[in-house]
Chains A and B, each alone.
Chain A
Amino acid sequence: MTGFDFGAIVNSFPYLAKGMQLSLLLTGLSALGSIVLGTILALMRLSGVRLFQWVGATWVNFFRSLPLLLVIFWFYFLVPVIAQRQVDAFQSALIGFVLFEAAYYCEIMRSGILSISRGQAWAGYALGLRYSQAMRFIVLPQAFRNMLPVLLTQTIILFQDTSLVFVVGLADFMTSAVTVAQRDGRLFELYVFCALVYFVMCYGASLYVKNLQKKIHR
């Protein structure tokens, strides 16, 4: 091994970029799915219906008590059994992430909804809006806006966590870097590069969120 070989990174760049593409796609789809599911769970927890409250609370407590790694494994082996057919690793990972992250987004949306005064929903009801309309047009847009920085922060964490798909052999950015590192015997270069990329992206995104937070709470 002679010094830091940039060539090792440059040569494998297209492969790594493809990995990053997968990481971002998985993050984006997972975030989208789990924010939707999380919002539904939050509405269930806040509803007056005992059964819904129980389902929402149980979901949150269940998934927050499990290691994410276990959940990814679980769905990798479980989903094909349930679906009775081969399911590719990306799909099973996506399902695992959505169900798992929904527990966290649920709690964020719940506090977001609670931050909107009761009078706002009342004003909607007084105009003749139904529960679903009052939520959709009045409460949720405001809750979402108030919680946007926290939602994005959770999504940054989600982005980092997608690296765990390494265990099911999905070629995300991290896994691709590991593959190249081992193939070329360039562990040091690739791991340093990998760390740098994650750091720059996540730190950059967190700075953006900080800025956004200031804007929203101005």
Chain B
Amino acid sequence: MIDIQNVSKWYGHFQVLKDCTSRVDKGEVVVICGPSGSGKSTLIKCVNGLEPFQEGVITVNGVSVGAAETDLPKLRSHIGMVFQNFELFPHKRAIENITLAQTKVLGRTPDEAVARGQKLLDRVGLGDLGHKYPSELSGGQQQRVAIARALAMDPIAMLFDEPTSALDPEMINEVLDVMQELARDGMTMMVVTHEMGFARRVADRVIFMDEGEIVEDATKDDFFGTPRSERAQLFLSKILHH
């Protein structure tokens, strides 16, 4: 489904991604963790081409993200993405956030789009808040709207870039619950997160990144059982025991 091969990326002379190779199979949930600045957010943004990369190949469903002839907007419309800061459109109501791309990109009629949007709002537990503006919603609610917005495009995979990092602690679980349910329904997911509890419950595989490298790429049990690298062990001890 998502195939990442020998991807490298530079900001000027600074190399942010170093020869990263991994893949996400259909229906698989892969969690990417690592210290801040390790390149995990950059890597996930490369998957849908929001960040360009200089070397390597990423294909999604067989389509090469970096190729010049690829219709990137079309490819992106099949890949949902959820951002750390929600990035809801503040000038639009929750339901309009969800219908915009449905009508403009998928060509659905406004009625279809609203019906689909309402269904998804119900699904994330916000059925009666569609008329609210983002500023009238809590962080957790905003992020759930953002998830509904991405799902409205009927994506074949979902990318989550630190979806709970900007949330107050009491709101983290309402978002993780929605994500867990998605995973249970068989969604292909790539999740950058520090929530190791979520990784333990939901992930099939865990990728550990440090300084732009994929240091560890292991099944969940192997990763939490016996992480091989010292760096991963150090990271886990820091993140789990405080």
Contacts and interface: CB of A to CB of B under 8 A. Distances in A.
A and B from one assembly?
yes
A99 B149 CA distance: 41
A136 B81 CA distance: 21
A137 B80 CA distance: 19
Interface string A136-177: 011001100100000000000000000000000000000000
Contacts of B74: 128
A203 interface: no
A125 interface: yes
A23 B157 CA distance: 57
A128 B50 contact: no
B241 interface: no
Contact of A119 (B72, B79, B87, B150): B87
A10 interface: no
Contacts of B45: 122
B89 A128 contact: no
A122 B50 contact: yes
Contacts of B104: 129, 133, 137
Contact of B101 (A117, A119, A127): A127
Contacts of B100: 127, 137
Contacts of A122: 45, 50, 83, 87
A133 B101 CA distance: 10
B48 interface: yes
B105 A123 contact: no
Contacts, number: 64
Contacts of B125: none
Contacts of B93: none
A120 interface: yes
A64 interface: no
A191 B72 CA distance: 62
Nearest to A127: B101
Contact of B73 (A117, A119, A130, A141): A130
Contact of B76 (A117, A126, A137, A142): A126
B64 to A, nearest CB: 17
Interface in B158-175: none
Interface residues of A, number: 18
Select the residue from A125, A127, A142 with max chain B CB neighbours within 10 A.
A127
A125 B87 contact: no
B21 interface: no
B236 interface: no
A127 B149 contact: yes
Select the residue from A129, A141, A145 with max chain B CB neighbours within 10 A.
A129
A206 B88 CA distance: 33
A120 B89 contact: yes
A173 to B, nearest CB: 36
Nearest to A120: B87
A122 B104 CA distance: 16
A102 B197 CA distance: 55
A119 B85 contact: yes
A145 B104 CA distance: 22
Contacts of A138: 89
A119 B83 contact: yes
Contacts of A119: 83, 85, 87
Interface string B101-128: 1001110000000000000000000000
B101 A145 contact: no
Given A137-B100, A142-B90, A145-B91, A125 B73 contact: yes
A126 B89 contact: no
Select the residue from B76, B87, B106, B153 with max chain A CB neighbours within 10 A.
B87
> Which 4 residue pairs spanning A and B have beta carbons closest together?
A128-B77, A127-B101, A123-B87, A126-B81
Interface of B: 45, 48, 50, 72-74, 76-81, 83, 85, 87-91, 100-101, 104-106, 146, 149-150, 153
Given A119-B87, A128-B153, 13 more contacts: A117-B85, A119-B85, A123-B81, A123-B146, A127-B105, A128-B74, A128-B76, A128-B105, A129-B101, A129-B105, A130-B73, A142-B89, A142-B90
